[in-house]
Structure 1
Amino acid sequence: MPADDVREPVGLMAPEDYARSRAVFWGGAAVLFTDAEGRVLVLDPAYRPGKLLLPGGGVDQAERPSAGAVREVAEELGLSVGVRQLLAVDWVSRGNPEFGTVCGFPGETVSIWDGGVLEESDIARIRLPENEITSFHFLPPAQAARRMRPIERRRMLAALRARIDRAGPAVLEDGESVGLGRALQRLDVVPRIAIGYQDIAWHPAMEPAAGLPVKQAWVWAFDPLGRVVVLVDPRDGHVVLPGGTVETDDDGPKAAALREAAEEAALRLHDAVYLGYLLDPDGAVYGPGTGANARARYIARIDSLGPAAPDVATRITYSRLLVSPVQASELLGLGRAGVEQAEYAAQTAAIRWGIPLSPPQAAIEIPHTGMAALLP
């Protein structure tokens, strides 16, 4: 009944009864921050040691959720920042087993906001409140998730996926997606921080020095709209480019990249062109005892994508996504070298083939049955 309705409630519920019948919920707000490497900022609260949280807390009466998020960041981090956009909303039911009857919990609507990327100068200004927050950490998403309560883990990952997807906020109920959800959420994609890649250099257009072995080769496979194919590993939700190890019977790194793309992703490619390489100076990325080596990168155009099938080597059936190169770099977690590589791949494809620069957009899952004849 509207507040300004002054009619006597003939056959209707009395206003006071109607008010009592409405659901009463708490409000909560949290903020997702990352650093330049894509690691998530999490807090270790003194009142719940060992179970990490995003910065945030309860929304006060008559306070807007975005204002509550800003206030909580000021109280918990000592930072005065604005929130950029809403990433996720989670409706938590009164009977949620993770909350039980704590403080007469009536249910809660939690909003998760995008705080953006914190620079080193921002991080240096963080000040924690005594007796409430014992420490803060920047952790890879998968590592942070393992140290959070299940509902908060799902909420954090949903917000991170929504930030990368750039297609509006995720809608959750008790931490779970409502309906089918978008592709990144549906496939449980976990943006990664690739170990060892954060400090290695990208060498565009350059050939590896004589005597430097090329251990692996990957390919940026472009569709006509400028999107690229990435693979989702069902074991951990991590994303990789098509490609892999250069075998002794491969006719060089390019042949290895094309073979791996066919085996892993059922990709038929043409016009493959050398793009550059990443230098692994001490073999730390590839594995102990390997020694210095190069990781080659190629670009190619997609002819078609066949039906998904288990990879010959691993017997894993990867899910396949079409994303913009920018989003691919965010999912791959290769650090600055990955960002530079994605930009160079997109620019080279545009110059060489006239392929447009794809803006970030909602990731598209390639059907298991494949997509034939992508070229116009």
Structure 2
Amino acid sequence: MTTTTPPGGQPRKKPSDEEYGALRARAALWAGASVLITNPLGLVLIQHVDYRDTCLLPGGAVDEGESPAHAAAREVREELGVTTAADRGLAVDWVSAEGFGARPALRFPGEIVHVFDGGSWDEDRIAEIRLPDHEITGIEFVEPALLPDLLAPSDARRALSALRARINSAGTVLLENGLPLAPTVLDRLAVLRTARAEHAFPWHDGPAPHERTVTRAQGWLFAPDGRVLVLLDPETGAARLPGGPPVAGDRGDWASTLVRAAEEQAAARPVSPLLLGHLTDPRTLHTHLRWAAAFTGITTPSPDLPGGLRPTRVLATPEQATELVGRGKPAAAQLAAVHRGRHHLNIPRAAPQPVTELPRRTG
């Protein structure tokens, strides 16, 4: 008979396979898999179901002997009629009985939910969707900020954490009741809890016509590694590019507007801004200019602005910045212009990497 002796203790018998199996069976958990799917505008696919009053991501329970990846692909096929691979994980969530809020009759033991990246589906892929004749009553693509209104609280937390992980290029994250064990700056500021500005205005390359009134100048400000400076509002989680409206002291020089605003907001100085293009409101003819520039002189910002906290400064790839700042069909055209400007400035293309917070103090 095999025994083990703990230091300073009495020998104990090694359990038999039957005993060990019974011990582990008492700690058995449920297992689930879900799939995060977006459209080209960054909206999240959710399902309306006939058996609960909240919506769900595609997915469901992992069957006996089934892997989570196989379960995720199977559920998408059964629920949406589309064949897809589940080969990239976004999050693994430990859901406690308290976090799940299960009715006592369910005898819920806890659950491990794997969230897989279903990718961004274009119009052709979306047109392939065929719903079953039961359970799924409809689908829609929604702004991430609406998920807490449409999903159960734990499901919404998990979906938003997984979406931030996808944007952040940080690999698979570990969650407890939908919240990351190692929060990033995107998690800490709850980015995406505020609806992103929709780029409903058409994008135009080059300068604005003289008859248009310029109301804002903002910049894609590049670090040497090809990432750009993004400002996150610590109160709302909203993201924006440095820049702002003109003031009298700018004297109609929109490049000066950009430089002044970037220094005030982010303690960064754009160098030789290059005009990329503009967005124009067809109702008012007001125009927002967009510039590209390298930036220098990252320093400690001045104290918080009157009436609000100083924005949190982060570096993100242009693709990450596009997902954080706004959405809409003109975003792709603007992103193409950003990369043309980056190439003109002889700045390398940024490698995929996590969003990085710049220190509030330097030196």
The TM-score normalised by the length of structure 1 is: 0.87
CA offsets 1:247-301 (integer angstroms, 9 cap, x no match)? 344333222222221222222332222222112211xxxxxxxx11211011222
Question: In the alignment, what sits opposite 2:297?
Answer: 304
1:163 to 159, 162, 166: 166
Measure, in 2, the Cα distance between the counterparts of 1:364 and 1:47: 42
Q: Does 1:346 align with 2:348?
A: no
- 1:191·1:333 contact (CA, 8 Å) conserved in 2? no
Measure, in 1, the Cα distance between the counterparts of 2:232 and 2:349: 23
How big is the shift at 1:358? Answer: 0.8
CA offsets 1:193-237 (integer angstroms, 9 cap, x no match)? 644414x32222x21112111111101111111111101122332
Question: In the alignment, what sits opposite 1:35?
Answer: 39
Measure, in 1, the Cα distance between the counterparts of 2:121 and 2:100: 34
- 1:38·1:193 contact (CA, 8 Å) conserved in 2? no
Q: Residue 137 of structure 1 aligns to which amino acid in structure 2?
A: E
- 2:276·2:292 contact (CA, 8 Å) conserved in 1? yes
Measure, in 2, the Cα distance between the counterparts of 1:350 and 1:229: 17
- 1:1-376 equivalences in 2 (<5 Å): 11-22=13-24, 23-49=27-53, 51-96=54-99, 98-101=101-104, 103-179=106-182, 181-190=183-192, 194-198=196-200, 200-204=201-205, 206-252=206-252, 253-282=254-283, 291-309=284-302, 312=305, 315-352=308-345, 354-370=346-362
CA offsets 1:287-332 (integer angstroms, 9 cap, x no match)? xxxx112110112222122234566465232111101112111222
Distance 1:213 1:238, change over 3 A: same
Measure, in 2, the Cα distance between the counterparts of 1:94 and 1:18: 25
Q: Residue 255 of structure 1 aligns to which amino acid in structure 2?
A: S
The TM-score normalised by the length of structure 2 is: 0.89
- 1:310·1:318 contact (CA, 8 Å) conserved in 2? no
Distance 1:363 1:114, change over 3 A: same
Unaligned runs of 5+ in 1: 1-5, 283-290
How big is the shift at 1:341? Answer: 2.1
Q: Secondary structure at the match of 1:305?
A: coil
Could you tell me the percent identity over the aligned residues?
37
Q: How many residues align?
A: 353
Q: Secondary structure at the match of 1:300?
A: strand
Q: Secondary structure at the match of 1:331?
A: helix
Unaligned runs of 5+ in 2: 5-11
- 1:264·1:311 contact (CA, 8 Å) conserved in 2? no
- 1:223·1:302 contact (CA, 8 Å) conserved in 2? yes
How big is the shift at 1:121? Answer: 2.4
